[in-house]
Chain A
C-alpha cells in the first residue's frame, strides 16, 4: 500500500524541522571532518551503551517485556481512532480541553492562540520532540511570545543558538568545556569563575531558571504516554524541570503525537520498565509525572491537550512502515548505530536523527523529501536488537529504499546496471557468459583481493564507498562441475 494512492497528506513543507537543507552524504562528509564532534559522540555513546547493557541484563524477563511492548503498540495502532476518542472523552470529563491538529501549522496556531488567551508573553517548556518537530518555538517567537527551554540539554542548544542532535540529549555533540563557554557567554548572572565540572554547570542552569519557574503562567510540554481508558498523561524526566512546568503554572498545554497513547493503565507497567532502561540506562528515571485532567488545589487549573497528526496517519497507511509509530523515543538505536556515532545527529537534517529518524522522517514527510535518509545505514541491525519495542528498522529501511527507487522517473546508471544484471541472472547461458566476462576484472586487481576504488565512471560511483572483491579464477558452479565430473 502506498502513501500517494490513499491521498493522506504528509507533513507540510515550510514549517517545522523534519527536512534538512542538503542530502545526508553531503552533511555527513562535513561532520566526519570534525574531530571534536567525533570524540564527544564516541565518549558519550560508549558510556550510555555500557549503562544500558548493565540494567537491561539485570531483568530476566526483558525479552517478554519487549514482546509485550511491541504487541501493545500494534494493538493501539489497530484501533487508533477508537482509543483517541476514548482519551478525548476521559480528558474532557476531568476538566481538560482536547484540540486536534492536522499538521504542524495548525498545531502552532492552536498553541499560539491558547497562550495569547492567557495574556502571557512567555512560556516555560519541558523538552518535547513533538514541539521541536513542528517548530513551535519559532512560531511563538513570531507572535511575540518567548519560549524558555528548561531541560538542561535543550537550554544548552537554545543558548548556543544551535540545533538538537540527539532525541534524548540534544546537546550530546557538546562537551563540558564547550558547555561552560556557552554559559559564560549567554547567562547574564553567571559566576565568572564557573568551572567545567558537570555539577557546577547543572547548578548554573538551576540558578538561571529558578525564578522563571516560579513566575511562569503557562507551560508547554510533550507527553511520553497517554492512557486512553483513564485519560492519564505521563512525562518521564530526570531534572525536575518537567515537574516545575507541569505543577507551578496556571495553564498547561501538552502537544502530543496521536501515536503516543496506550489503551490501558496496565500497559504502563511494560513501558515504565522498558523506557528508562533503554534511554538513560537507569533502573528508573528520577521523576515520572502522571496527571489526569486537572486536580483542584494541585497543579494547573487549566489543561489543554493538542493531538497532532503531521504525517502520522500517512505513515499509518503503509503496512510495513507503520511500525515506526511504535517508537517510544528512547534513543537506544542512536547510541548503538555505527553511522550515528560517527556523523552525529545534525547530518540527518531532521529533529529525528539516527536509525529511527532514518525511517520516521521520510515517512512523515514523504520519502522523496528525505530520500537520502533510508540509505544512511549499513543495515547492521544493532538498532533492531536494542529497540525496546522491537521495531524492525533494517527491514523498513530496505522497504523505503524500494519506495524511493520506484518513485524515480529517470533511469540512473545503477538502475541500468541492475536491469542488465536481472536479465543475465534469468538466463543460465547469459549468466555463465557474464561470469566469464567479469574475469577481466582480475587484470585490474593485479593480484590484490579487492579491486581499486579508482575505477572509471560510472563504476567509480559504486566503488567509491564500497569494496568490490576481485572476481575468482573459477566460480562455485565451475568448481562443483570440475570436482564432481564423472
Chain B
C-alpha cells in the first residue's frame, strides 16, 4: 500500500461512512456602505499606523508625487538609475532614467535602491496592498529585494475589506499581500519595522 492510499484509508476509517458537513453561515460583513473618500481615509490611516508614508495626488501629478516619494525614501539627489520599475508601469508615472525589470536573474535586483510598482487591489480596513505578479505589479522578487518600495494605488483599486479583495484576485497568480514595511514582533512581542523585506514603504494614492 502506498503512503497516499494508506493515509486516505485512515481518514475514511476515522470518519466512518456517515459524515454530513455542517452548514457554513457567512453572516459576516462582505460589502461596505462607505464612500470612496471614506475608504481612502481609512486606508491612509492604516498604512500610516504601520509606519508607511502616504502621499495623495491628482491623476495628472503622479510623476511629481513619485519623485517626492523617492526624495523621502532615498534622500534628495537620488540616482534615477538606482530605481527599477515594474515592466508594465505606465510611462508617465516613471522617473526619467529609471531602469525597467527586464527579467534578469532575481538576485541582481538586490543592487537597486528602490522599486516602483502598481498594485492589483488595496484593502482599506487592513491597510493592505496586493501585488499579483502582473506587468503592473511586477514579479515577487522585484517588490522584495530593493530596500525601498514605492507603490502607486489608484482610487478605483481600493476596496473596503478582505472578502471584497479576494473576489477581485486570480488565485492562480503569484500573490503578495503587503501591509506596511517588513517588521518583526519577535523581540519581547514589540513590533519593530524593517527586517528582510523593504524597510521603507511609500504609497502614492491617486484620487
Contacts and interface: CB of A to CB of B under 8 A. Distances in A.
Interface of A: 6, 8, 40, 43-45, 47-48, 60-61, 64-65, 67-68, 71-72, 74-75, 77-81, 84-85, 94, 99-102, 106, 150-153, 156, 169, 171-172, 175-176, 179, 198-199, 201-203, 205-206, 209-210, 213-215, 227, 230, 232, 238-241, 243-244, 246-248, 258, 265-266, 268-270, 272-273, 276, 280, 282-292, 295, 297-299, 307, 309, 313-314, 316-317, 322
Given A61-B29, A68-B28, A284-B126, A290 B195 contact: no
A152 B107 CA distance: 22
A288 B188 contact: no
B196 A239 contact: yes
Given A283-B127, A298-B174, A67 B25 contact: yes
Given A152-B187, A213-B196, A214-B107, A80 B11 contact: yes
B133 A298 contact: yes
Nearest to B181: A286
Contact of B187 (A48, A201, A270): A201
A311 to B, nearest CB: 10
Given A269-B30, A286-B183, A40 B188 contact: yes
B19 interface: yes
B182 interface: yes
A283 B162 CA distance: 11
B30 to A, nearest CB: 7
B166 A74 contact: no
B125 A283 contact: yes
B14 A316 contact: yes
A307 B3 CA distance: 10
Contact of A284 (B106, B172, B177, B189): B177
B127 A44 contact: no
A287 B175 CA distance: 10
A299 B175 CA distance: 11
A214 B144 CA distance: 12
Contacts of A65: 28
B94 interface: no
Given A71-B23, A316-B11, A248 B194 contact: no
Given A198-B190, A283-B46, A244 B20 contact: no
A248 B106 CA distance: 7
Nearest to A99: B3
B188 A152 contact: no
A118 B27 CA distance: 48
B166 A287 contact: no
Nearest to A106: B3
A81 B25 CA distance: 23
Contacts of A101: 3
Most buried by B among A101, A106, A201, A287: A287
Contacts of A268: 162, 166
22 contacts: A68-B27, A78-B22, A100-B4, A176-B187, A202-B194, A244-B144, A247-B141, A266-B163, A272-B162, A272-B177, A280-B189, A283-B49, A283-B179, A286-B179, A286-B183, A288-B177, A292-B171, A292-B172, A298-B139, A313-B7, A314-B10, A322-B14
Kindly list the 10 A-B residue pairs having the minimum CB-CB distance in the complex, ordered from nearest. Answer: A240-B197, A313-B10, A317-B14, A240-B196, A239-B195, A284-B126, A75-B21, A153-B186, A284-B179, A288-B177
Given A78-B21, A238-B185, A243-B176, A314 B7 contact: no
B118 to A, nearest CB: 16
A361 B24 CA distance: 28
Given A238-B183, A284-B126, A286-B50, A313 B14 contact: yes
B178 to A, nearest CB: 6
Contacts of A291: 174-175
Contacts of B103: 297
